[in-house]
Structure 1
Amino acid sequence: MSTAKWANLLRLSPAAIHTALRSINSFSGILLRNQSATHSAPLRLRRLDVYDYHQLMQVFSQSNDCDSVIRVLRRMKNTNCNPDVYCYTAAMKSLASCSRPWDAIAMFHEMIDSGLTPTLYCYTLLIKIYSCHLQQFDSAFAVLNLMLNQECEPNVVTYSTLITGLCKAGRIEEALNLFDDMVQRGCFPNAHTYAPILRAFCSEGRIQEAKELIESMSTNGCQPDVVIYNILVYGLCKIGDFDEVERVISASKINGWEPDSFTYSTYIVGLCHAGKAQEALWQLDGMIQKDLKPTTIGLNILLEGIGREMNVSTSRVLLETCGILGFDVDIVSYNTVMSQLCDMERWVDVLNLFVDLFKKGLQPDTYTFNILILCLCKAGEIGMVSSVCQFNGFVPDLVTCDILLREYYVSGGVRELDFVFSYLRRGDIVPNMLFYGTIVDCLCKSGRIFEAVTLVRNIENGYPAYPVSRLTYWLVRMQKIGDVIMLIEEMLKKGLVLESRIFNQMIRAFCRKGFCGTTNISLVEYLLDRMLGTSW
């Protein structure tokens, strides 16, 4: 019985089942299978065999715990239970899925050194690692040739795997050559072979070749299905040939396939990207009539397109009726419409949607809170922001602090700035240089010059150009010329180069103070000479 079935039967999570299996594995053996419950003999334990270890490796592999998979393999060796090719293959697969391709290759060589002969599946997995994970195609082809030399005939999965890797790397011509080779060897392609080639053609806009490839599928005994045609629809949408999309969908019954949710969702996304939100909305109406539901990603892009091209009210109505229509929405759906409403200064509607998402069982993310915070600030409800920031589960980011700083800066808030700085002092957020510049602006405007100067001095790597330019601007505006000279000389002593933006901001500040049109211009010249390292 699988872990998932055990979990369902025992009403435990798969993680709990895995923990139980680890506990069972800690014993030196397991109960003898089929032992009678009424047997009067003492309870006997038996040693784990290769099958038991392999099953345990599979459990750990399914939970992406590759370290435990390797520990099981090492334990086998330590207990003189030699791993077979299937155990090594399971270890390779687990390592590859954990983004450790080189360790997987090392495991393959360890298997060879143990005297084991790789199976067809093992060779195919190695080809996948070389081609799809590492894009080392010379090595992948070397493995393919090794298989042929050892009379281990590659099958359609082997060829399809290598073709997929080549197509993902944009090496379509090599993929086509390999395709021809497999057909000549009597290995006939299936849909998994055609799909990556078709996807590569469509990604490069080679639609005519994509159509010809689909036509050739029937000739080779492989009937194109909805997955194949969905790839073609994607390619047509990418080049904006929506008339051809309509023809492909209209001819679906004749060609033996039926459009599904992915077909129409792809079409809707393509229309939205082309600025045709109204046409996309018509396609959604057609889906509803066919009892189809759009993918969540497709729906989110449609909501964004409607709000951008049509009106926010329509996107809001669509979002609010998704439950009635049975559409699956996520937090991105709400973020999209809330952001549109915020841009339109419809603060009450933003708050209503924020409340509604909880009723739908959704959890807001940081982006949701950032929209709400910006909404409250713009609505003049800055006093409520601190309560929002203390909401359970809210994790502020750099955007949060930037919103707060800018809004407090505009409103002239001073006390609230300390609330923002508390996030920075805890080290939860690492500011960038633009953010540091905003902090300098806020500190200087609130009269906290000493803190602004100290901040600039203590920024990692010291005196970055943008914060320095903002600081010099404010120091000049406040006529603290001595502090400007001291700051410039500190930078020059450290061998730092004064960037042009520092000069620009300082000159701009002098001009705003009226220095440039009076006899005080000499002070400006003096400062410029000091900055250039020229003595009077």
Structure 2
Amino acid sequence: MGYSSAAAAAFAVLPVPSPSSSDDSDDANTLPTNPIVEPEVASPHQTPPPKLQQLERGCNLAMTPLGRAGDVDQVVHLFSDLMLSTSSAGVPPSVLCYNTLLNALVEAGRAVEARSVFDGMLAAGVAPNASSFNILVKLYAWRTADFHLAYDQIHAMRRHGLLPDVGTFSTLVTGLCRAGKLDEAWGVLDWMLQEGCRPMVHTYTPIVQGYCRQGQIEEATNLIGFMEEAGCPPNAVTYNVLIRALCDDARFAEVEQVLAEIETKGHELSTVTYNIYMDALGKKGMAKEALKQFEALQCKGLHPTAFTLSIILNCLCCTSRFSQAISILERSTDLNFCAAVVAYNTVMSRLCDMGRWPAVLELLADMIKKCIVPNTRTLNIFIHSLCIADKLSVAKKLVYNQGFPANAVTYNTLIHSFYLRGEAYEADNMFAYMTEVANIAPDEVTYTIMVDGLCRQGKFDKATDFFKESLRNRLRLSKDLLTALLNGLARSDRNTNILVVFQEIERQGFVRCYLIFGDTVRSICQVGFRQHTKMYGLPFLLEGMLGPGKEVYPAHKGQGKGK
């Protein structure tokens, strides 16, 4: 274990920190919050006039949500406009505005631009504050994993008369834990204590998660116990990290113990905690147990989220309680449940699998009535339901509708259904519409469906051409696609086509590996080459596939064509 008695003793002489809002987060995936950009003291410059101060505040209020939404280009644009206004007044933007831009660039991983903005801030005479350096530490510890540069920023703070705070060290600890450097993270904690900076819950939680990621759940549990003893009790995020790890290992009895421990210590369970547990139970086929946890959640007065509802609906469908699932969706408004599009998709998908397309249609109508906007997955489920109901003409009309948000999955469903119904002409037309009118690139599934369908029609040359096109367009050798083509060619003794396939594989830079040859031999043998009358052709075919003097290489993809 990385902690020591010296570390524990150090807590006794340090002041108890005030709680921060970040500690109340229920999201087990978000460990410490991003370095917080707070209002600062103005730089040692001429105080901007009131109108300019108001402009800065308004600009910063606009940039902050845009940065959180990932619209970094718009943040850059607003900051550029602000620069023009402040330049005319003879003063640069405030450090707060610089920090907002800097944080947006770091969150987007635009390291070079972020460093340029920081250097520009220094050149403009704007003094950075602790938040400025914390953002740079995040850049190098979280985004680029250049930890030596992260350490450099912490040392640079002192040259600017600043001291690293708990946010600085916690950000570095989080980056180290994400990189699996747990021992080094413990070293940073010792450094914190030497600096008189007390670790907080969001300093320790990344280490708990680091242990869990490495499968050291006992170490994580011991660390949580140490946090309690040291006067830094774990919060909901910390416990959720541990519960998620236990759930991943299906150690549900221990999950129950942790839940009981949380309540015994006076902590409140959150909806997120129950979601983690219920989701794991559902994925392990323990739907009834998950539904019991849902009842416990409601008994505690916790409000189900959209994800909660999706989990429960899936469990109800798994236990064939469709009527109850449909009832919950239809009564979701009265029950005050957050029924989002994901919840409807969950039930509609299950109903589609059961062939109950009228029920799918009814739920789609219920969604629209409640002003819940269907997404592409919703409409793909509906298209699949129509295909199962043999209503391909209706499905085709919907897809041809200009407002229908079709994707490759949509077209794959229809092309496959037309081939199954023996309507190859319609399937070919649908593929042409997909690529030429809708301008949607076919994926591996599309090519596999087309190749299999063409082989069944006896159009082996065209099927081979489709395979060659997939290699040119996708730059990936799909095992499913190759198997579909080889099975079709082998069934009709199309040895010449098989040799062409292997020539194209090599020409496109893919190494012909033993797995490919194994699949080829298997395809050939399954359709009759195992009979003595056809065995003479197998060595000839294999020799042509390998070529003179060729070996069967380990499986890998070449770096480029001709490799």
TM bin (shorter chain): 0.7 to 0.9
Shift of 1:282: 0.7
Aligned partner letter, 2:62: V
Residue 251 of structure 2 is matched in structure 1 by 241
Residue 424 of structure 1 is matched in structure 2 by 435
What's the CA shift string for 1:232-286, capped at 9, x where partnerless? Answer: 4334333333333333333445412222222222221232233322111011112
Q: Name the structure, 1 or 2, with higher relative contact order (CA <8 Å, separation 6+).
A: 2
The alpha-carbon distance between structure 1 residues 410 and 184, as it changes in their structure 2 partners (threshold 3 A), is: same
The alpha-carbon distance between structure 1 residues 335 and 49, as it changes in their structure 2 partners (threshold 3 A), is: closer
The alpha-carbon distance between structure 1 residues 465 and 308, as it changes in their structure 2 partners (threshold 3 A), is: closer
What's the CA shift string for 1:146-194, capped at 9, x where partnerless? Answer: 3245542212222222222222222222222222322333222333323
Find 2:63's aligned residue among 42, 60, 64.
60
Cα contact 1:69–1:94 (8 A) shared by 2: no
The alpha-carbon distance between structure 1 residues 532 and 230, as it changes in their structure 2 partners (threshold 3 A), is: closer
What's the CA shift string for 1:455-502, capped at 9, x where partnerless? Answer: 5676663998987886787688789x8xx8599679969984997489
Find 2:84's aligned residue among 75, 78, 83.
75
DSSP 3-state at the match of 1:63: helix
Matching of residues 22-421 of structure 1 within 5 Å: 49=52, 52-53=55-56, 55-64=58-67, 65-72=74-81, 74-75=83-84, 79=88, 80-148=90-158, 151-308=161-318, 312-313=322-323, 315-390=325-400, 393-417=403-427, 418-421=429-432
What's the CA shift string for 1:104-133, capped at 9, x where partnerless? Answer: 122222333444432122122211221122
Shift of 1:406: 1.9
The alpha-carbon distance between structure 1 residues 261 and 493, as it changes in their structure 2 partners (threshold 3 A), is: closer
The alpha-carbon distance between structure 1 residues 494 and 377, as it changes in their structure 2 partners (threshold 3 A), is: closer
Shift of 1:379: 2.1
> What is the Cα-based RMSD across aligned positions, in Å?
4.1
What's the CA shift string for 1:386-410, capped at 9, x where partnerless? Answer: 1332456422222222222222112
Aligned partner letter, 1:56: C
Aligned partner letter, 1:101: A
Q: Which moved more, 1:441-450 or 1:86-95?
A: 441-450
Instruction: Report % sequence identity.
Output: 30
Aligned partner letter, 1:234: R
Q: Distance in 1 between matches of 2:501 and 2:306?
A: 56
Aligned partner letter, 1:379: A
The alpha-carbon distance between structure 1 residues 491 and 170, as it changes in their structure 2 partners (threshold 3 A), is: closer
What's the CA shift string for 1:294-351, capped at 9, x where partnerless? Answer: 3322332343344336655554455445444322122222222222222222333223
Cα contact 1:472–1:506 (8 A) shared by 2: yes
Q: Distance in 1 between matches of 2:291 and 2:366?
A: 24
The alpha-carbon distance between structure 1 residues 90 and 318, as it changes in their structure 2 partners (threshold 3 A), is: closer
Aligned partner letter, 1:192: H
Q: Distance in 2 between matches of 1:212 and 1:528?
A: 59
Cα contact 2:137–2:172 (8 A) shared by 1: yes
The alpha-carbon distance between structure 1 residues 283 and 507, as it changes in their structure 2 partners (threshold 3 A), is: closer
Cα contact 1:474–1:509 (8 A) shared by 2: no
The alpha-carbon distance between structure 1 residues 415 and 220, as it changes in their structure 2 partners (threshold 3 A), is: same
The alpha-carbon distance between structure 1 residues 526 and 295, as it changes in their structure 2 partners (threshold 3 A), is: same
Q: Distance in 1 between matches of 2:193 and 2:544?
A: 77
Q: Which moved more, 1:138-147 or 1:149-158?
A: 149-158
Cα contact 1:73–1:87 (8 A) shared by 2: no
DSSP 3-state at the match of 2:441: coil
DSSP 3-state at the match of 1:247: helix
Cα contact 1:303–1:315 (8 A) shared by 2: yes
Q: Which moved more, 1:446-455 or 1:312-321?
A: 446-455
Q: Distance in 1 between matches of 2:526 and 2:243?
A: 57
Q: Distance in 2 between matches of 1:493 and 1:197?
A: 50
Aligned partner letter, 2:76: D
Shift of 1:89: 2.6
DSSP 3-state at the match of 1:408: helix
The alpha-carbon distance between structure 1 residues 152 and 375, as it changes in their structure 2 partners (threshold 3 A), is: same
Q: Distance in 1 between matches of 2:470 and 2:150?
A: 49
Aligned partner letter, 1:75: L
The alpha-carbon distance between structure 1 residues 319 and 465, as it changes in their structure 2 partners (threshold 3 A), is: closer
Cα contact 1:66–1:91 (8 A) shared by 2: yes
Q: Distance in 1 between matches of 2:363 and 2:155?
A: 60
Gaps of 5+ in 1: 1-31, 34-47
Cα contact 2:360–2:385 (8 A) shared by 1: yes
Q: Which moved more, 1:48-57 or 1:137-146?
A: 48-57
Residue 438 of structure 1 is matched in structure 2 by 449
Q: Distance in 2 between matches of 1:421 and 1:451?
A: 14
Q: Distance in 1 between matches of 2:251 and 2:504?
A: 63
Cα contact 1:261–1:292 (8 A) shared by 2: yes
Larger Rg: 1
The alpha-carbon distance between structure 1 residues 383 and 85, as it changes in their structure 2 partners (threshold 3 A), is: closer
Q: Which moved more, 1:70-79 or 1:164-173?
A: 70-79
Shift of 1:440: 3.5
Residue 3 of structure 1 is matched in structure 2 by none
Q: Distance in 2 between matches of 1:306 and 1:522?
A: 57
Q: Distance in 2 between matches of 1:293 and 1:187?
A: 38
The alpha-carbon distance between structure 1 residues 51 and 108, as it changes in their structure 2 partners (threshold 3 A), is: farther
TM-score after normalising by structure 2: 0.72
Cα contact 2:102–2:118 (8 A) shared by 1: yes
